[in-house]
């Protein structure tokens, strides 16, 4: 990928560095320079990161794959993804790693879960009360259905996040058509969102991609990314363009959310002024599962107020002919699309007939 294409997926708010293969810093994003309070251009990566970081990068960074590692920059911990551009420069993208202790993280998850359960139970109670007093129960039934599915979604996301943090999140890798499954789940999401959000799908060809992967994890990544983009949109009917492409060794999904963001739209905040934990958990789950599958995810804001993300999943071949022998049932027979989109679609979406 060209350096221009790599950088076009990033906004000035993203933390990134462009360096030569010798480790000399060529460019630093404005946000990272402001956070560090120093101009790194012209300096060597070994001087501002670990002493041997350049030799490790030379050994691992390539144009085909993203090399991920943890590092400390300016006294703060980051997850770094680095890739080689066509011009031979190294593009390093940094994501801050939370410094919260496990106890604090667990407590915030409990608070998030409690808040969401109470909110959904209140809506379901209203729907149940209305159901007994109307001649047309369809809307009340739709509200109840959405509430039940949304509670299922929330509990699964919180459980998956907790399992991942404790290193015990299990995957169920099996042989299949990765390209076909990606296209299928995007089509189903488009159908589910019809009338409430405009999902435009560019499938970029129909070539199969035989691989070994966790099918449910891939579906969850895509649905959580779709849900995240629809949730941050302020449009009455959000527009999301999805492009699916195949490269020799990876599948790439690009999502572009049309703007514009209202200037007064701000994240929900706790009384102390800090952002309430749990907001945007869909993006956390997508990033978590992407890393677990060995893929990469870059997401950024756009100048027009929209959002953009680029997901890459490896087309992993099963060279040893072995894969999981135990199927993991994540959804207990519930429809994964209906569950994962229940947090962003109105109850009317669960009233319309579906094929």
Note whether 192 and 201 are within 8 A (CB): no
Confidence at residue 240, expressed as pLDDT on a 0 to 100 scale: 93
Write down the residue that tokens 């309070």 correspond to. 37
Give φ, ψ of 247 to 5 degrees: -110, 170
Q: Is 301 helix (H, G, I), strand (E, B) or coil?
A: strand
Confidence at residue 38, expressed as pLDDT on a 0 to 100 scale: 78
Q: Is the four-CA dihedral 134, 191, 256, 277 of positive or negative sign?
A: positive
Q: Is 79 helix (H, G, I), strand (E, B) or coil?
A: strand
CATH number for the region 174-346 comes to 3.30.565.10
pLDDT < 70 stretches in the chain: 1-13, 97-136, 205-206, 259-280, 301-305, 318-330, 332, 352-355
Beta strands, E only, 85-149: 90-96
Write down the residue that tokens 């966790």 correspond to. 214
CATH architecture of 3-96: 2-Layer Sandwich (3.30)
Query: Which has the closest alpha carbon to 7: 90, 95, 96?
Result: 90
Confidence at residue 353, expressed as pLDDT on a 0 to 100 scale: 58
Confidence at residue 313, expressed as pLDDT on a 0 to 100 scale: 92
Confidence at residue 190, expressed as pLDDT on a 0 to 100 scale: 95
All structural domains of the chain with their residue ranges? 3-96, 102-165, 174-346
CATH number for the region 102-165 comes to 1.10.287
Query: Which has the closest alpha carbon to 219: 270, 153, 278, 264?
Result: 153
Confidence at residue 108, expressed as pLDDT on a 0 to 100 scale: 60
Confidence at residue 355, expressed as pLDDT on a 0 to 100 scale: 44
Query: Which has the closest alpha carbon to 211: 63, 319, 325?
Result: 319
């Amino acid at each position: 990928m060209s350096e221009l294409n790599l950088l076009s997926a990033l906004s000035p708010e993203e933390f990134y560095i462009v360096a030569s293969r010798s480790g000399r810093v060529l460019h630093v994003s404005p946000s990272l320079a402001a956070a560090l309070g120093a101009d790194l251009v012209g300096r060597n990566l070994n001087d501002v990161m670990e002493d041997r970081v350049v030799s490790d990068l030379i050994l691992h960074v390539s144009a085909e794959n993203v090399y991920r590692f943890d590092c400390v920059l300016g006294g703060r911990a980051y997850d770094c993804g680095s890739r080689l551009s066509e011009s031979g420069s190294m593009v390093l993208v940094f994501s801050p790693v939370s410094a919260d202790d496990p106890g604090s993280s667990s407590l915030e998850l409990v608070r998030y879960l409690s808040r969401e359960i109470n909110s959904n139970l209140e809506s379901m109670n209203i729907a149940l009360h209305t159901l007994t007093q109307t001649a047309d129960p369809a809307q009340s039934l739709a509200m109840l259905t959405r509430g039940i599915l949304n509670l299922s979604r929330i509990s699964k996301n919180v459980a998956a996040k907790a399992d991942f943090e404790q290193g015990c999140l299990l995957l169920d890798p099996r042989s299949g058509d990765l390209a076909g499954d990606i296209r299928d789940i995007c089509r189903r999401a488009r159908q589910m969102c019809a009338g409430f959000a405009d999902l435009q799908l560019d499938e970029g060809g129909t070539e199969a991609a035989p691989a070994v992967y966790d099918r449910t994890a891939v579906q969850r990544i895509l649905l959580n990314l779709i849900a995240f983009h629809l949730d941050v949109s302020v449009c009455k009917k959000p527009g999301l363009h999805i492009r699916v492409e195949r490269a020799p060794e990876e599948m790439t999904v690009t999502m572009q959310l049309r703007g514009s963001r209202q200037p007064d739209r701000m994240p929900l905040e706790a009384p102390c002024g800090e952002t309430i934990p749990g907001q945007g958990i869909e993006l956390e789950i997508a990033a978590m599962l992407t890393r677990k599958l060995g893929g990469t995810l870059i997401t950024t804001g756009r100048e027009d107020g929209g959002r953009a993300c680029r997901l890459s999943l490896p087309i992993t071949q099963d060279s040893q002919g072995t894969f999981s022998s135990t199927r993991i049932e994540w959804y207990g027979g519930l429809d994964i699309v209906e569950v994962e989109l229940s947090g962003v679609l109105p109850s009317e979406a669960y009233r319309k007939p579906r094929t």
